Amino acid sequence: MAKHIVTFDIVREPVAVSTGTLLTEAAREAGLDIAQPCGGQGRCGRCAVQVTDGRVRQRSALRLSAEDVANGYVLACQAVVEGDVSIHVPPQETLERRLTTDRVVADIQIPSGYDPAVDQTLRRVWLTLPPPSMDNQTDDWNRLQTAVYQQTGVESLSISLPLLRQMGSVLREGGWRVTAVFASQPPGGSQTSGRLVALLPGHVPEDEPLWGIAADIGTTTVSVWLVDLFSGRVAQQAAEYNRQIRRGEDVISRIIYASKHGPAEMQALVLQTINGLVDRVCRRQKAAKESVLKATIAGNSAMIHLLLGVPAESIRLSPFVTAVNHIPLLTAAEMGLDIHPEAVVDCLPGVAGYVGADITAGVLSSGLDDSEQVSLFLDIGTNGEMVLGCSDWLVTCACSAGPAFEGAGVRRGMRATRGAIEEVWINGDTLEPTIRVIGDAPAKGFCGSGLISLLAEMFLTSVIDKAGHFNSTRPTDRIRQGEHGWEYVVVWGDEGHENGRHANGSPPHDIAITHVDVDNLLRAKAAIYAGFSVLADSVGVPLEMVERALIGGAFGKYINVEKAVEIGLLPDMPWEQFRFLGNTAVLGAYQALLSQKARERIADIASRMTYIELSADNSFYDAFTSALFLPHTELSRFPSVAVARLNHQSVQVED
């Protein structure tokens, strides 16, 4: 078959590929991994590349603007090689500014007083063994155990078969001087037993880092931090979309996929994602992957099950139980993580099918369990999980809010990627919107924060009423009967969006929000608010008594809190009581990676948390129904919103 030469401008060597090869595959051949958040389905537009010479055949250019097309942009996942071609690959990060912290290491605080000798389960020792002789014919393994015992007091050391196989040559290569790393076992047990994790010839320098990985396996995003276990320093961070996305956007569809097709593919996809990230952070740090000796992993229960190849079907079906909440310590080799094969892999414990290790780790890093203040911890991602509590008690629940706030279930919804409308302001008089779009791109649709903003603005300007009905009497042609009933047009397809700060093209269609969209959003926010209510009721604490709202996840980083309160998604409390903590799950995994005490605190959080199953809770439906209004049936729960609305209306009146 004919071969064609494909040249990528950021890769030294061109590659020769057959007719019909996708550009993404050609890129992989060339050692270049072009991000495909949508799994190569041509839906996200993130893999856009520019053809600078030659031609390709395109299956779809759905997500490209006319301008992009005119400039030779194609979607790499939809473009097929049919002849020699040269490709310009735009910088990936600029396309995806919200995919957090890749390349840039956020300033993560090392836990104060971190002392690896006390806190760390991994221990590195430098040993000098007496060489064997005719007077001392003991076996290598006994010789090594004796040296470890003499130096550390560890009496009982275990070893795996692969390490047994290497041991003899490492001892001899090092001239009976070796560096051993072992993990205390059980981690919280006595200091007298351990498992040998690595054995290196010679004495490695004391300042050579000992690497660990903290990771969070999100339904949407997988995050990996590379950590020096001795200093505690976070050396690298990387994040990437979970490659499972191509097999389903949410947890439920992935469980269904895995049940139908067996767990292997889902497991392989998430392993590819995490191993790709490990490779990335190690390359940047110029650290060998084999030098990573420990990994601590957070993630929701379904993601952890899929990662381990454990069937997750029971999570989906009533009574929604997991196979396992407290996962035994594993080795990297047995679970497929591409670091040192004997590395300790610690999957953090979850509580229930929909309250997983991302929440227990999140609670740890939020400090909720360590404070006398009653706090609400909230993680809104593809699902909404929340914890109410303090150092004395913890209750938790999960709302099947659906991924509306990630852009799903909304006609023009999308993820927070290039072209997403992330903020909307509506002029109270003209009802004309002003928008802010992600990336230097024409608007394509709404991401979660944009939807919250839009909903709040429509409510405050009476485009919709408190039940979410469109007010057709308002004087604007943007409120109209569309194909799907009443809707409000935010961006005209033929008008472009000169209101947008980054406008550089027109969308092919009008971008509107429909009454079906509004209903879906109301249901999603009502489910979350009802969750708060049920939790508070279950412990007899009124929501007003909650002293802090601790918001985890990427979601919290970008939403406009005021607007989230205005629609009744977040409880009405003063701004200063909100804390936005970012990826609390990976932060908790990081803390547990460093400190066995933190790790035990997570287990303690998991065992102390009372899980409330909302689908079995009689009060949930009432609370949900009451919350199906903007901001809520009982306006008294949202005093600040009442005031804001009044102000807005009076401003309008004054105008």
Which residue ranges make up the site for a second copy (CB under 8 A)? 132-142, 158-161, 164-165, 167-169, 172, 263, 308-311, 313-314, 318-328, 330, 334-335, 352-353, 611, 613, 615-616
What is the CA 256 to chain-centroid distance, rounded? 21
Q: Round to whole Å and give the CA distance between 43 and 249.
A: 12
- CA 401-406-412 angle, to 5 degrees, is 110
Q: What is the DSSP letter of 352?
A: B
Is 50 within 8 Å of 95 (Cβ atoms)?
no
User: 649: number of CA atoms within 13 Å, CB side?
Assistant: 11
Question: How far apart are alpha carbons 252 and 258 in whole angstroms?
Answer: 10
SS3 for 293? strand
Helix, strand, coil fractions of the chain, as percent rounded to 5: 35, 25, 40
Closer of 71 and 158 to a second copy (Cβ): 158
Residues 6 or more apart whose Cβ sits within 8 Å of residue 86: 6, 7, 9, 51, 52, 53, 54
CA-only gyration radius of the chain, Å: 27
Q: Please, are residues 199 and 147 in contact by the beta-carbon 8 Å criterion?
A: no
What Å distances lie between residue 285 and 10, 108, 209, 289, 450, CA to CA? 20, 17, 11, 10, 36
Distance, in Å, from the CA atom of 651 to the CA atom of 493, rounded to the nearest integer, reads 31
Which residue shows structure tokens 């063994």? 129
- Reading across the β-sheet that carries 445-446, which strands appear in turn? 433-437, 420-426, 445-446
Q: Which residues contact 453 (CB under 8 A, 6 or more apart)?
A: 422, 423, 424, 425, 560, 563
CB of 615 to a second copy, least distance (A): 8
Q: Are 486 and 470 in contact (CB under 8 A)?
A: yes
Element containing residue 167 per DSSP (H, E): helix 161-173
Closer to a second copy by Cβ: residue 334 or 622 = 334
- Cβ-contact 219, 385 below 8 angstroms: no
Cα–Cα distance measured from residue 325 to residue 356, given in angstroms and rounded to the nearest whole number: 8
**Does the N-terminal peptide bond of residue 319 adopt cis geometry, omega within 30 degrees of 0?**
yes
The answer to whether 508 touches 419, Cβ cutoff 8 Å, is no
Q: What is the DSSP letter of 349?
A: P
Distance, CA of 245 to CA of 37 (rounded, Å)? 7
DSSP code string of 418-433: TTEEEEEEE-TTT--E
